[in-house]
Amino acid sequence: MNFTAIDFETANPRPESACSLALVVVRNDRIVNHFYTLIDPQAEFSYWNTKVNGLTAQMVAGAPTFATVWPHIAPLFSMDQLVVAHNARFDVKVLQSTLTHYQIEPPHFLTLDTVKTSRRFYPELPNHKLNTVADYLQLDLVNHHHALADSYACAQILLTEAQQFGPALLRKMVTVA
């Protein structure tokens, strides 16, 4: 399988407040590259979001804005590229809202949600949170809610599912964002 796993963390409940981003690139069923950056959301940080992801305004001071980061990662978001996320609805909304905030036309791309795949393949789980699925599959998720750790776990979940159930079944679950 070829895909890019993505994970955002946000500064507050607003989806355009991305404050960190990670991408893990998979080619021929192997993780071949990754990208991580803090992002200056140019927005206030909420207590709750900081409690969850540990990120503060001081930590992102001097980081690039998403508009600066976008040209470097934009080629990964097209109709011939698969983008995977655990709870893709959230990450796709953050991407689209952040791009719109910077008056950048959001692209259309193929997407797959490992929350949905895990619900289908592992209905016995008490929930389908990233850490629950990773634990069940005995995957290493050292720093949950760190975008890079979460995107690695997402990539490993999909690779495990492809090995267990076959990539053809997963391809049937792909949608367009």
The CA distance from 24 to 22, in Å, is 7
**What is the total count of domains within the chain?**
1
Tokens of 16: 């355009």
Q: Count CA within 13 A, CB hemisphere, residue 148.
A: 6
pLDDT of 11: 98
Instruction: Give residue-wise pLDDT tens across range 125-161.
Output: 999 999 999 999 999 998 999 999 999 999 999 999 9
Tokens of 75: 């080629």
Instruction: Give residue-wise pLDDT tens across range 38-93.
Output: 999 999 999 999 999 999 999 999 999 999 999 999 999 999 999 999 999 999 99
Could you give the dihedral angle defined by the CA atoms of residues 90, 96, 97 and 100, in that order, rounded to the nearest 10 degrees?
A: 180
**Could you tell me the pTM of the whole model?**
0.95
pLDDT of 33: 97
**Residue 154's CATH number:** 3.30.420.10
The CA distance from 98 to 65, in Å, is 10
pLDDT of 40: 98
pLDDT of 39: 98
Instruction: Give residue-wise pLDDT tens across range 98-126.
Output: 999 999 999 999 999 999 999 999 999 99
Domain span at residue 95 reads: 3-176
pLDDT of 75: 96
Q: Are 121 and 137 in contact (CB under 8 A)?
A: no
